[in-house]
Chains A and B, each alone.
Chain A
Amino acid sequence: MSEGKIVSIHSFRGGTGKSNVTANLAAQVAMTGKRVGVVDTDIQSPGIHVLFGLDDAKMGKTMNDFLHGKATIREIGFSIGENTGGGEGRSKLAGKNLFLFPSSIRGREISQILREGIDFNLLNEGMQTTISEFDLDYLFIDTHPGLNEETLLSIATSDVLIIILRPDNQDLQGTSVTVDVARSLDVPNLFLLVNKALPKYDFAEIKTTIEAQFQAPVTSVLPLSFDLAENASIDLFSLRYPDHEWSKALRNVVDFVLNAK
């Protein structure tokens, strides 16, 4: 098996902060000196590129081009370390090895995928090739919320799966479905991450309760933060405000990723 590890970030429901966590976590791992890639497999509703300062005008070739045989993986990889896009937080990534493999935000290209379907042999080949072509230590996969075929494929090929949930009963029920599926796919490292916890709650108690319910480690409990909401995805919050409670809690997750076997 190739040396680089695949880390899938998933949530059963939308609005959990999945893309924000994925982008910040990938950036934090890149800051440790590792070579890191981020693939946006949320082809129906891509969004993670915004956190890395890309818009339609700056975006070159995309995963959609790869899936239609119009581009190679080498052509899609966008070096964030060489194009930090100006944000105060992102500028700290200058010279780091962090590459984004974005999905298209053009309406016609999204509708083409929905209409024609996806060649999964090619999608899987693309994900594995990013690791070898870019000599990655870690490849983060930002998935579409809920369970669909792309998500199952990314879970099935992952070394590490991080399931994000809010302390909310709808999320808890949905997460149990995802945990069952992940266990049936033999994912070697299954972790949970609680996001948007109200600060008035006892975070240690949340952690203990959820770990007992799912029999899986909770890597961190991140607070619901108005400061993060105010950031509005214009920058990588944990790099811009490294001393903020949310950023400190996020950095707890880095060790779980780096120490995963």
Chain B
Amino acid sequence: MPGVFDRLDKEIKDKQKEGGISPLDLAELSPAFRKIMRLMLRELQMSYPRLCEVVEAMPEKDRLTRAELDSALSSLTEQFWLIRIGENEKAIYKVNLKRKAGSTLASGIWSSLDAKLKGKPAKNEE
């Protein structure tokens, strides 16, 4: 029977599949959104009270009001750029980056490259 952490992990993974922000989008964000996303990229995940603490400790020129923070979090979550687990004070936020797409070359090209490379195994490969 899966435990609470397994269930949370599955919930996060399911939500990650629903979208995400690409590194290209980061440059287009508004200053307030970008501050939050940069913070989240470094911290990986943060609880709502911790986010409030960090934002309050920012230099005055960079600081967001609680209303600005809540509005940004809500918007980022709606777009699946942040994933929220739990509600209100107990919410935990996690950044959600979009997967880099693989090559769009025809799969036959990769199969033949693989076949050629398999013919030349590296020294310590099995």
Contacts and interface: CB of A to CB of B under 8 A. Distances in A.
A165 B42 CA distance: 27
Interface string A85-116: 00000000000000000000011100100111
Interface stretch (A68-76, A118-126, A205-213, A227-235): A118-126
Given A120-B20, A156-B23, A157-B41, 16 more contacts: A2-B42, A2-B43, A56-B123, A107-B113, A114-B102, A117-B101, A118-B100, A121-B16, A121-B97, A149-B22, A152-B23, A152-B27, A153-B97, A156-B37, A156-B41, A185-B34
A1 to B, nearest CB: 5
Given A149-B22, A157-B38, A185-B27, A119 B99 contact: yes
Chain A contact residues, majority secondary structure:
helix
B63 interface: no
Interface in B87-126: 95-103, 110, 113-114, 117-118, 120, 122-125
Given A124-B95, A124-B97, A157-B42, A149 B123 contact: no
Interface residues of A, number: 29
Given A106-B125, A111-B110, A111-B113, A117 B100 contact: yes
B42 A1 contact: yes
A106 B27 CA distance: 33
B57 to A, nearest CB: 10
B64 interface: no
A94 B16 CA distance: 43
21 contacts: A1-B42, A1-B43, A2-B42, A56-B123, A107-B117, A107-B120, A111-B117, A115-B102, A117-B101, A119-B99, A120-B23, A120-B100, A121-B16, A121-B20, A121-B96, A124-B41, A152-B24, A152-B27, A156-B27, A156-B38, A157-B42
B22 to A, nearest CB: 6
A257 B47 CA distance: 31
A91 to B, nearest CB: 24
A124 B100 contact: no
Given A157-B41, A186-B38, A150 B100 contact: yes
Contacts of B24: 149, 152
Nearest to A149: B23
Nearest to A113: B102
Given A56-B124, A111-B113, A186-B38, A152 B26 contact: yes
Nearest to A105: B122
Interface of A: 1-2, 56-57, 106-108, 111, 114-121, 124-125, 128, 149-150, 152-153, 156-157, 181, 184-186
A169 to B, nearest CB: 25
B126 to A, nearest CB: 12
Nearest to A60: B124
Closest 4 CB pairs of A and B: A152-B23, A120-B97, A117-B102, A118-B100
A186 B125 contact: no
Contacts of B102: 114-117
Contacts of A2: 42-43
B99 A186 contact: no
A117 B98 CA distance: 11
B8 interface: no
Contacts of A150: 23, 100
A149 B26 contact: no
A150 B23 CA distance: 8
